[in-house]
Amino acid sequence: MKAPGLIAAMAQLLLTLFVVAAALLLYDRQVLRPALRIGTVDVAEVYRQKEAEFTQLLTKAGSDEDRQHAMLMARAFAQRLPTALEELPRDCGCLVVLKGAVAGVTPHTVDLTAQLRQKVGSP
């Protein structure tokens, strides 16, 4: 027969190991992995596409109403772009940097340019 003190010590040891393992898992999921993940965004590409769309609308515009619509579209884009850039880190749970600032792609690098296009309403 085992001593009751030995069983209590083993139970305490198992409980301690479980708590430590759970804390390390939580730290890994909540702190370490998000810090390793980097989102990149090509703002210049999104801007160029929107600029081309805006230019095309202005050159095709036949009336003042068409020109006014193009100007409203450009103003809306200018207002949505900073807001969309602020939302990206919250959405992906990662650090977001310009694509040109990253020297190489890693397995932890995610391209968020498509999400930015969607947020600002670009094709």
Q: Do 77 and 50 form a contact (C-beta atoms < 8 A)? A: yes
The domain covering 37-120 belongs, at the CATH homologous superfamily level, to Skp domain (3.30.910.20)
pTM: 0.67
Domain assignments of the chain as residue spans, ordered by start: 1-36, 37-120
Distance CA 109, CA 117 (A): 18
Answer whether residue 2 shows pLDDT above 70: no
Q: Do 85 and 116 form a contact (C-beta atoms < 8 A)? A: yes
Q: Do 71 and 15 form a contact (C-beta atoms < 8 A)? A: no
18 — pLDDT class (breaks 50, 70, 90) = very high
Residue 83, CB-side half-sphere exposure with 13 Å CA sphere: 9
Question: Percent of the chain having pLDDT more than 90?
Answer: 38
Q: Do 40 and 96 form a contact (C-beta atoms < 8 A)? A: yes
- State pLDDT tens for residues 61-104: 677 887 888 888 889 998 999 999 999 998 888 889 999 888 87
